[in-house]
Amino acid sequence: MTQVKERKTNVGMVNGFDPSNISALDPATRDMVARRQALLGPAYRLMYAHPVEIKRAKGTLLWDSAGNEYLDAYNNVVSVGHCHPRVVEAVYEQMQTLCTHTRYLQDGILDFADEIVPTFGDPIRHIMFTCTGSEANDLALRIAMHHTGRKGIVITSEAYTGNSFLTAGLSPSLGKKSPLGEWVRRIPGPDSYRMSHAEIAATLIRQLKYEIEELERRGEGLAAFIADSLFSSDGIYADPTDILGPIAEVVRAAGGVVIADEVQAGFGRSGDTFWGFQRHGLQPDIVTMGKPMGNGFPVAAVAVAPHVIERFGNEMRYFNTFGGNTVAIAAARATFDVLKSEGLQENAARIGQMIREGIREIAKSDERIGDIRGAGLYIGVEFVKDRSTKEPDSATALAVVDGLRQRRVLISATGYHANTLKIRPPLVFSAADADRLLTTLAETLKAF
């Protein structure tokens, strides 16, 4: 039986700053990092070997306190670009009028629900609002457990579902020091670089059936299977797209619920469809979303089929003081409108293809690049020590991330071995931005 691998070492946060290297920083940065450590404590993390200070932003660009400009090729939170004027205006106007919770009648939340619910397709009919993707996944799992009367959850090997107590227990990507729930089982990610199409489907289905049997044997049973359809933390596997359908059949046959985690893959990012699960022809029972929904304003949601929420709704109640408040809904409506009116899904498809094709050209003369994959503006570039053995090369991948940062282009890395570049820019990324990214990547690779 194929087993999910365990990390050999505790590598910490991928592409994270090592606090033991604080003495190597320039005095001003060192003082700010030391102050941060003193005030915020040891649990907070900074990105990059040399942390970046950001003072302001606009569109796809960021500036530090010295006025140096950075290209943001990483931030999916501000999906329609930093400080988009229509979102800023909507939040400002609503904040001047009313900011209150969902226990009063309001048109805004209903109008937005009318707009977004049809985009999910059958069987989704309802939507419930939270503040973050972690809260959305937490609520979705509570609903699934209540609906099924079971606790067991199946995830992919390096999944990230959030940082609440429940979702952290479903997030192996947090590292081996972060314990998984006893009711959690893992199946491998769909490694399209090392497995054939047929092998991926057979492996995942076989392992899924095994894990469901184990859950039933231990009296937990299966409540849900949850997956990000771009398998972001597993290493970004956008293809093949005919795996989640058969997985859903196995899950439902075992009495479980299928949850599509769209925090990373949704809102047009994949280019060819608005929601990532739609690329797979999947009809989930629950859809969760977060980060990009309010373009930086904290708003997230759970969309759910009536039959799944019925028991929870009759026997429980849901309330969130800030989830779905009037200002959050104003931000979400403005963001959703910008996504549609500015054609950002189509832009993601066009610019994403341009970036992947450009990296393929670079790879022709650089054997360290083993695989280029992704969909729309979510792109993975895997580095290997040898293309024939496909041995992962995390050192080179992280050196590239740092080299790009030194040249003021920001990305990160992902995957089990942290050897895959994660390129995930705002959806307003332009052809000029893509050209800058590609040119800087080529320069960085030539430098070592």
Q: What mean pLDDT is predicted for residues 287-307? A: 97
Q: What mean pLDDT is predicted for residues 122-140? A: 97
Q: How confident is the model at residue 275 (pLDDT cuts 50, 70, 90)?
A: very high
Q: How confident is the model at residue 50 (pLDDT cuts 50, 70, 90)?
A: confident
Strand partners, 300: 130
Confirm if 390 and 191 have CB atoms less than 8 A apart.
Answer: no
Q: How confident is the model at residue 10 (pLDDT cuts 50, 70, 90)?
A: very low
**Is the model more confident about 42 or about 63?**
63
Q: Encoding tokens for residue 443?
A: 């320069």
Per-residue pLDDT, 148: 98
> Kind and range of the H or E element at 252?
helix 244-253
Q: Are strands 222-227 and 257-261 parallel, antiparallel or unpaired?
A: parallel
Does the pLDDT value for residue 437 go beyond 80?
yes
pLDDT tens digits, one per residue of 321-332: 999 999 999 999
Per-residue pLDDT, 6: 42
Q: What mean pLDDT is predicted for residues 61-86? A: 96
pLDDT tens digits, one per residue of 323-368: 999 999 999 999 999 999 999 999 999 999 999 999 999 999 999 9
Q: Where are the alpha helices (DSSP H) in 149-182?
A: 165-168
Distance of CA 52 to the CA centre of its chain: 22
Q: How confident is the model at residue 9 (pLDDT cuts 50, 70, 90)?
A: very low
Q: Are strands 300-304 and 257-261 parallel, antiparallel or unpaired?
A: unpaired
Does the pLDDT value for residue 236 go beyond 90?
yes
Q: The whole model's pTM is what?
A: 0.94
Per-residue pLDDT, 23: 87
pLDDT tens digits, one per residue of 137-195: 999 999 999 999 999 999 999 999 999 999 999 999 998 889 999 999 999 999 999 99
DSSP state of 222: E
